[in-house]
Amino acid sequence: MRVFLTGGSGGIGSVIKTTLQNHNIEVISPTSQELDLKGNFDTSKYPVLDGFIHCAGINDVNSYDKIIPNDMLNSYKINTVSFIELCSKLNIKDKSNIVAIGSLYATQTKQGRSSYTMSKHALLGVVKTLAIEMSPKQIKVNMISPGFVDTPLTRKNLSEEKINYLNSNIPLGLTTPESIANTCKFLITQNEAITGQNLIIDSGYSLIGI
């Protein structure tokens, strides 16, 4: 089995990559230099695929009155438009699975997140639409939306006090990258009838709205 993965060097993407490889799945995961999702890119060199996971993304934080239009467009291009382009350009086998890594901000929001929320709301709409459009090929398209995930970036951006607060107040504590990766593995290798869905993996965060 061969899977194409974007964002394979990030805190979640790297664990997805390792998890798949540990189950004897070949992972093609180009760097951002090898595949510039902001520009025009060529996928003709990549072989036939058994699945595609879109984990690449950027999250620029700015209030609405300080947003730089180019930054907003880059977020939309990388987080959303490139997913559509890759689904169209990659040679994905019939009966395969496609997974987009979304976010709680695909259905919620927070101050300063206009660009990111816009892109993730749009990504969810794309996932639902492609699930219909690709169904004649029996290709399933789904989204996984993580909450607070215990990655190096999370620990860099949040104080130890905030980390401890989240672990104490989220019903199951911070979500592990392995939880996201294992769900990806299931969807890629075993899913036969789930399509157009947004699977929220947040350890219960969205239940209590802390």
Angle (CA) 69-72-76 rounded to 5° is 135
Catalytic residue positions, numbered: 116
Q: Give the Cβ contact number of residue 100 at 10 Å.
A: 27
- Walk across the sheet containing 2-6 and list its strands: 26-28, 2-6, 49-54, 92-101, 140-146, 198-201
All residues at 6 or more sequence positions from 200 whose CB lies less than 8 Å from its CB, including other chains: 104, 107, 145, 147, 206
Question: 157, 146 in Cβ contact below 8 A?
Answer: no
| Cα–Cα distance, 194 to 50 (Å, whole number) | 16
All residues at 6 or more sequence positions from 30 whose CB lies less than 8 Å from its CB, including other chains: 6
| Cα–Cα distance, 183 to 26 (Å, whole number) | 17
